[in-house]
Chain A
Amino acid sequence: MVKLQINGKTVEAREGEMLLAVMQRMGIEVPTQCHHEAIEPTGNCRLCMVEITKKNWDGWKKCVTSCLYPVEEGLIVETHNDKLFEIRKTILDLQLARSPHSDYVAKMASEYGLEKSSYPVEPQGDDCIMCYACTRICDVLGKSAIAPTMRGHEKIVAGPFGEAPPDCIGCLSCAFICPTDHIKWNDKGNTRTIWDKKFKLIKCKKCGKKTITREFADYLIEKRELPSEYFDTCDICKRQETADTMGALVVKAREATI
């Protein structure tokens, strides 16, 4: 166990635990955009920045991203002060210039008193804030279908060469994890479209309800050794099947006792 001080309170933490996790456990609210429990932290949004110091640092302080900084013995952490407020405000100010149409960014920025960006606004700017939560979740899934492509201001998240990613299985994890809902997808009839790629949805054998994509199911069947018949029917029909199977057993047992 490691002892450290956060906002004047002494807390204990497991060795190797990140500062952000300790702070969240204490109920300290620090804004985050790219943080998600399921993915590795990379410190892309930089909003979870905190100021740290130690007793023997002679008053020196430094700002670090708390999602990436492991706890240390004797660390003194400050999560909210004027300097950190300015840092977070600047980040959101820049994001507001990049993604002027994003409600998510606008809402966060308004909490810092920002109505309009003080930087030249990119009118064609999209909602992507380059947090790469989508590419990281795809890595966890084991597909790595999408990645940041191009350089500089042209940088976007896309499939290889900006084309439809051949490895994508249409699971929508990237779209669900995206904080700004920039990744667009739609289900029309039997087809799901995401990243300009089309997928066929599995239709329930009994009722015709659409479930996940065929590619996603095949991936789970292969990777996690699940029987393929589990994916043939939808959850509603599977529940009824369970009731029927159990019911038949009850009837059988009753007949046996009579």
Chain B
Amino acid sequence: MKYCFQVIPELCTGCRTCELACAFKYAKDGKPGRSRIYPLAHAKDQYVPVVCFQCDDAACVRACMFDALRRNDETGAVELDKERCVKCEACVAACPFGCALTDTDQNEIVKCDLCQGDPVCARFCPEAALKYVEIED
């Protein structure tokens, strides 16, 4: 069984619950600025939740010289191996969508890993703009 993380920007109201859910799960002190999902406005009151696309041929994976970024075949997410990461920020610079960033407080690279197969943002999204759905192979 394969899963797919679905983002439906039409349904997003910009309530930023996803950002909070992510920040409380991962960031120090629950700082929303260090979340892995970013609801950004593209026009007045119109939002798009920008989150890692888990690209098939991901630029971050290609850019990492130390194989710290690898695909988890079970969840389909590109995961960061913190033990291998040296924080050179190659992935941050390479990602064309800007979905890898540096957490300067905790001195680590922040990247969505779909919460190991149970994304909290999707659980908390009140408008169901974020979904983690089963897909056929």
Contacts and interface: CB of A to CB of B under 8 A. Distances in A.
A239 B67 contact: no
B42 A248 contact: yes
Contact of A226 (B63, B87, B88, B97): B63
B18 to A, nearest CB: 14
A226 B94 contact: yes
Contacts of A173: 65-66, 86, 88
A244 interface: yes
**In terms of DSSP, what is the predominant structure of the interface of chain A?**
helix
Contact of A250 (B10, B83, B88, B101): B10
Nearest to A247: B42
Interface string A146-184: 000000000000000000000000011100110000000
B50 A239 contact: yes
A206 to B, nearest CB: 11
Interface stretch (A90-98, A117-125, A137-145): A137-145
A239 B94 contact: no
A247 B8 CA distance: 11
B41 interface: yes
Interface in A234-258: 234-244, 246-248, 250-251, 253-254
B65 A140 contact: yes
A230 B65 contact: no
Contacts of B84: 36-38
Interface residues on A, range: 35 or more
Contact of B83 (A37, A172, A226): A37
A43 B99 CA distance: 37
A239 B99 contact: yes
A224 B95 contact: no
A212 B94 CA distance: 10
B96 A230 contact: yes
Interface residues of B, number: 37
A37 B86 CA distance: 10
Interface string B61-93: 011011110000000000001011111111011
A227 to B, nearest CB: 8
A243 B48 contact: yes
B107 to A, nearest CB: 9
A246 B47 CA distance: 10
B46 interface: yes
B16 to A, nearest CB: 14
Given A177-B86, A230-B94, A250-B48, A38 B67 contact: yes
Interface string A182-214: 000000000000000000001000000001100
Given A38-B67, A239-B99, A247-B42, A171 B90 contact: yes
A246 B85 CA distance: 31
B10 A220 contact: no
B63 to A, nearest CB: 5
B40 interface: yes
A242 B86 contact: no
A140 B47 CA distance: 42
Interface of B: 9-10, 38, 40-43, 46-48, 50, 59, 62-63, 65-68, 81, 83-90, 92-101
Interface of A: 36-38, 137, 140-142, 171-173, 176-177, 202, 211-212, 216-217, 220, 224-227, 229-231, 233-244, 246-248, 250-251, 253-254
Given A238-B97, A244-B42, 6 more contacts: A137-B86, A171-B88, A231-B93, A235-B101, A238-B95, A242-B48
